[in-house]
C-alpha cells in the first residue's frame, strides 16, 4: 500500500514537472465590435466605418472578431450573450461600441438603432444599459475584459424637445466602476460629446485607437493614456478621453517580442502585479499623464500651430460657440478657458476694462491648471503693465513656469525680462541665442501682423 502511494506521488510530480516545463499556450483573444449608425432619428455616418477600422486592427493583433452593425435592442442583448457564451476559460475579451450613448438618472445606456425616445422615464425600457454588458462579461469565463465605448456623439434626436429628455443633447456617459479584471474606456469625458468625424473617413478616437493597437509592446493602460493625449491634442482639448481600470499586471494588445506566457498568470498579463492595481484616468486630473500632458511635449512647430489655432478660435467665436466654450471651461478645459480670455481681449468700445478683467480671470484659471499659453499671457500682462500694474516679480514667476514646458514665447519673454533687469553681456547673448532657436513666427511674440490690438 505504501509502495503504491509512493508510485502515485512520483507520477503526480512527474506530471506537474512536465506541465511546468511545457510552454504555456497563449490565451484566446476574442472581440465583439458593434457599429450603430442607422438611427431612426438620423444617421451617424462614421460609426460603421469606425467599427470596420477597429475590427481590422484587432484581427491584425490576433483577435477573433465578431463584427455587428445597426443592432436593435433585442439584437444587442443576443449578440452580447452569444459573445460571452463563446469565451473560453482564461480568454481576453474586448467589446468595442461605436454609436450613441447617454446617461439618465446616473445610469449609462448604449442606444440601439430602433430606439425612439419619448421621455427620460422610458429610456430604461428602450435602451441597452451598460451594466448589462459589464456584469455579463464579469460573470463569463474570460480573465481580462476590455470595454471601449466610442459613444456620446451628437444627438440624433434633436427634434425631441430637450426638456422632455433632460437636456438630452448635452448628456455624456457618467463615471463608473470597472469590475475586477476589467478596463472600461470612454471616448470622451462625462457631460461631453465626442466628434463623429464629420468630413473625415473615421472619428479621431477610432483612428487613433486603431493606430495604437498596431504598436507592439504597448501596455493597455499606457495605450489608453497615450490615446487620451493624442485625441486631446488633435481636438485641442475639445474631446477628452478617459478610462477606468481594475486590471492587475501588464496587459497587451500586441505583446513585446519574446514575451513568455505563464500558465499561472492572467492571460496577456505579467506575473508581477501592478503596484497600483486600480488606475483612474478622469477629467478632473488636469496635468497628469494621459490628461493635459500632451502640450508639454510639443516642439516649436507644434506650439506655433497651437498659438495660431487659439487666435483663430478666439476671433470666430459666436453666441453658440461661446456657450460651448463656457461649458467646457467650467469642466476645467484649459484651451477653452484661454480661448475665452483671448476673445475678451478683442472686446471693442466702452466695455474694454470689464473685458480685460474677464480675460485675466480666464487666463488665471488656465494658468493655475498649468497651461503655458495662459501663464505667458499673465506674465506678459505683469511685464508690460498692460492689464495689471507692472510687477516684474510676478511676471518672472509666470514666465519661468511656462518656459519649463519649452514654450517658445515664454522663453523669449523671459530672456527679454532678464536682459532688462540684468543688462549684462551674458543676458544679451542669452536673448540672441533664444531668438535664433525660435522660428521666425515667434520672433515678435506680443504683436503679429494683422493681429487685433489688445486693450491698454
CB 49 within 8 A of CB 61: no
Of 172, 164, 50, nearest to 110 by C-alpha is 172
Give CA–CA dist 54/67, Å, rounded.
10
Question: Around 436, how many Cα atoms within 13 Å sit in the side-chain half-sphere?
Answer: 6
Q: In sequence order, what are the beta bridge partners of 185? A: 148, 243
Give CA–CA dist 432/450, Å, rounded.
25
C-alpha cell of 183? Answer: 478596463
> How high is the pLDDT of residue 374?
94
> How high is the pLDDT of residue 56?
98
pTM surpassing 0.95?
A: no
> How high is the pLDDT of residue 175?
58
Give whole-number Cα distances, 112 to 182, 205, 286, 307, in Å: 23, 21, 33, 41
Question: Dihedral of CA 443/444/446/451: which sign?
Answer: negative
Q: What are phi and psi of 281, to 5 degrees?
A: -115, 105
Give whole-number Cα distances, 263 to 12, 25, 270, 423, in Å: 18, 8, 11, 69
Q: Exposed (0-12), middle (13-18) or buried (19+): which is 89, by Cβ within 10 Å? A: exposed
CB 164 within 8 A of CB 120: yes
Sequence-separated (6 or more) residues with CB below 8 Å from residue 431:
412, 415, 416, 418, 419
pLDDT tens track, the chain, 456 positions:
445 545 444 544 554 455 444 445 678 999 999 999 998 777 888 899 999 999 999 999 999 999 999 999 999 999 999 999 999 999 999 999 999 888 777 788 898 999 876 666 667 788 899 999 999 998 899 999 999 999 865 444 444 333 222 233 444 565 566 666 889 999 987 656 666 556 678 999 999 999 999 999 999 999 999 999 999 899 888 888 888 888 877 889 998 887 766 543 444 433 333 333 333 444 333 323 344 567 877 888 888 889 999 999 898 888 888 888 888 888 788 999 999 999 998 876 545 688 888 999 999 999 999 999 999 999 999 998 878 899 999 999 999 999 988 888 988 888 888 888 887 887 677 777 767 676 554 444 444 433 444 444
> How high is the pLDDT of residue 126?
84
Q: Cα-Cα-Cα-Cα dihedral of 416, 417, 420, 425, to 10°?
A: -60
Give CA–CA dist 136/179, Å, rounded.
11
> How high is the pLDDT of residue 300?
82
CB 175 within 8 A of CB 122: no
Give CA–CA dist 299/277, Å, rounded.
34
C-alpha cell of 360? Answer: 485675466
Stated as kind and residue range, the H or E segment containing 96 is strand 92-98
Amino acid at each position: 500500500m505504501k509502495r503504491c502511494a509512493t508510485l502515485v506521488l512520483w507520477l503526480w510530480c512527474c506530471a506537474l514537472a512536465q506541465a511546468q516545463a511545457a510552454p504555456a499556450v497563449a490565451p484566446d483573444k476574442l472581440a465583439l465590435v458593434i457599429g450603430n449608425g442607422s438611427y431612426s432619428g438620423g444617421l451617424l455616418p462614421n460609426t460603421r466605418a469606425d467599427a470596420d477600422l477597429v475590427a481590422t486592427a484587432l484581427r491584425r493583433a490576433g483577435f477573433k472578431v465578431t463584427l455587428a452593425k445597426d443592432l436593435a435592442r433585442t439584437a444587442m442583448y443576443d449578440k452580447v450573450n452569444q459573445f460571452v457564451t463563446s469565451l473560453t476559460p482564461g480568454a481576453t475579451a474586448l467589446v468595442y461600441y461605436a454609436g450613441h450613448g447617454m446617461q439618465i438618472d446616473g445610469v449609462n445606456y448604449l442606444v440601439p438603432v430602433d430606439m425612439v425616445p419619448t421621455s427620460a422615464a422610458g429610456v430604461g425600457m428602450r435602451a441597452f444599459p451598460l451594466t448589462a454588458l459589464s456584469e455579463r462579461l464579469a460573470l463569463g469565463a474570460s480573465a481580462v475584459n476590455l470595454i471601449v465605448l466610442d459613444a456620446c456623439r451628437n444627438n440624433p434626436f434633436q427634434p425631441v424637445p430637450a426638456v422632455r429628455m433632460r437636456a438630452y443633447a448635452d448628456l455624456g456617459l457618467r463615471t463608473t466602476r470597472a469590475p475586477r479584471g476589467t478596463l472600461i474606456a470612454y471616448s470622451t469625458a462625462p457631460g461631453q460629446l465626442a466628434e463623429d468625424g464629420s468630413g473625415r473617413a473615421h472619428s479621431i478616437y477610432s483612428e487613433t485607437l486603431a493606430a495604437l493597437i498596431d504598436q507592439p509592446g504597448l501596455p493597455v493602460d499606457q495605450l489608453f493614456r497615450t490615446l487620451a493625449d493624442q485625441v486631446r491634442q488633435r481636438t485641442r482639448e475639445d474631446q477628452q478621453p478617459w478610462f477606468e481600470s481594475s486590471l492587475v499586471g501588464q496587459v497587451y494588445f500586441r505583446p513585446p517580442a519574446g514575451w513568455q506566457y505563464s500558465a499561472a498568470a492572467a492571460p496577456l498579463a505579467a506575473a508581477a502585479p501592478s503596484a497600483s492595481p486600480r488606475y483612474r484616468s478622469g477629467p478632473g486630473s488636469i496635468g497628469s499623464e494621459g490628461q493635459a500632458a500632451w502640450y508639454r511635449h510639443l516642439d516649436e512647430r507644434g506650439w506655433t500651430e497651437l498659438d495660431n489655432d487659439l487666435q483663430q478660435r478666439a476671433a470666430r467665436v459666436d453666441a453658440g460657440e461661446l456657450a460651448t466654450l463656457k461649458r467646457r471651461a467650467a469642466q476645467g478645459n484649459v484651451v477653452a478657458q484661454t480661448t475665452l480670455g483671448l476673445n475678451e481681449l478683442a472686446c471693442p468700445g466702452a466695455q474694454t476694462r470689464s473685458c480685460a478683467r474677464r480675460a485675466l480671470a480666464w487666463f488665471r484659471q488656465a494658468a493655475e491648471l498649468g497651461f503655458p499659453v495662459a501663464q505667458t499671457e499673465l506674465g506678459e500682462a505683469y511685464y508690460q503693465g498692460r492689464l495689471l500694474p507692472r510687477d516684474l516679480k510676478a511676471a518672472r514667476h509666470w514666465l519661468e513656469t511656462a518656459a519649463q514646458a519649452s514654450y517658445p514665447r515664454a522663453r523669449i519673454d523671459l530672456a527679454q525680462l532678464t536682459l532688462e533687469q540684468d543688462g549684462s553681456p551674458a543676458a544679451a547673448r542669452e536673448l540672441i541665442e533664444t531668438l535664433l532657436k525660435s522660428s521666425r513666427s515667434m520672433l515678435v511674440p506680443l504683436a503679429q501682423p494683422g493681429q487685433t490690438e489688445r486693450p491698454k
